[in-house]
């Protein structure tokens, strides 16, 4: 590198710092920080965001990734699944906590100034809107585009005879031997179900051994089939 080039680089570096502000003296800087802290009223709800609503906003960002056309289709579908899983946990932990406060009559405003009842109403509106958007993305965007890639999600009325035969054989050989229906009647109240498990509720026809209407039954999906 020539001496002239070195000088130009040096001059350029010096010129970049020419307009930089001078740092405050340490005493003035400390005084400024103290004054700023004293001016903030930490009891002011305007400085806080509701914890539950903030958590739900994170899940809305997950949903937005399912809308992002820059992601591959199957990844976008996975984001929809993550959104649903997060929403289940949100209701299981966050919403249930708010409901308990209402049931126990212990409503207190949070740091953001909102009462649990107010937060629950806001959650209801936001979740309703988010679910509508989730199914719009699935039915109007992802499924048609996946079909163009020869990936199909067929409703029951679109099954052909070959698919119906395969489904029946799979059920008889793989599913029926490992499922255990749980009857619901006065002698058998609603059973305890495994947390985060998949269950089906069935309406039964006919009468039981005692001549009573069979009513309902629950079929827990074995985890071995969900692996």
Whether 35 maps to a domain, the answer reads no
Residue in 199, 170, 198 with CA at minimum distance from that of residue 184: 199
Residue 7 has pLDDT above 50, yes or no: no
144 with 197, same domain? no
Whether 96 maps to a domain, the answer reads yes
59 with 136, same domain? yes
149 with 188, same domain? no
End-to-end Cα separation, the chain, in angstroms = 64
Q: DSSP string covering 64-130, please? A: HHHH-TTS-HHHHHHHHHHHHHHHHHIIIIIIHHHHHHHHTT-----TTS--HHHHHHHHHHHHHHH
Residue 124 has pLDDT above 50, yes or no: yes
3-state secondary structure of 204: strand
66 with 118, same domain? yes
Task: Give this prediction's pTM.
Answer: 0.67
Residue 191 has pLDDT above 50, yes or no: yes
3-state secondary structure of 164: helix
The C-alpha atoms of residue 140 and residue 153 are separated, in whole angstroms, by: 13
The C-alpha atoms of residue 130 and residue 83 are separated, in whole angstroms, by: 10
Q: Which two tokens stand for residue 49?
A: 């965001």
Domain that residue 133 falls in:
45-153
Residue in 13, 15, 36 with CA at minimum distance from that of residue 24: 36
Confidence band for 209, pLDDT divided at 50, 70 and 90: low
């Amino acid at each position: 590198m020539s001496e002239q080039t070195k000088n130009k680089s040096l001059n350029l570096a010096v010129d970049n710092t020419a307009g930089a502000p001078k740092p405050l003296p340490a005493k003035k800087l400390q005084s400024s920080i103290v004054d700023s802290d004293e001016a903030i009223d930490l009891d002011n709800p305007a400085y806080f965001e509701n914890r539950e609503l903030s958590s739900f906003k994170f899940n809305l960002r997950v949903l937005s990734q399912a809308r992002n056309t820059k992601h591959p289709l199957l990844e976008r579908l996975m984001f929809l699944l993550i959104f649903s899983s997060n929403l289940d946990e949100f209701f299981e932990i966050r919403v249930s906590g708010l409901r308990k406060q209402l049931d126990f009559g212990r409503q207190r405003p949070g740091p953001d100034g909102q009462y649990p009842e107010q937060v629950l109403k806001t959650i209801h509106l936001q979740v309703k809107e988010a679910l509508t958007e989730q199914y719009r993305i699935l039915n109007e965007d992802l499924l048609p585009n996946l079909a163009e890639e020869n990936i199909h999600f067929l409703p029951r009325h679109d099954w052909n005879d070959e698919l119906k035969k395969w489904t029946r054989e799979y059920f008889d050989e793989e599913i029926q031997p490992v499922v255990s229906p749980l009857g619901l009647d006065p002698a058998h109240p609603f059973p305890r179900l495994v947390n985060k498990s998949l269950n089906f509720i069935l309406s039964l026809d006919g009468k039981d051994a005692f001549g009573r209407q069979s009513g309902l039954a629950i079929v827990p999906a074995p985890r071995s089939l969900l692996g």
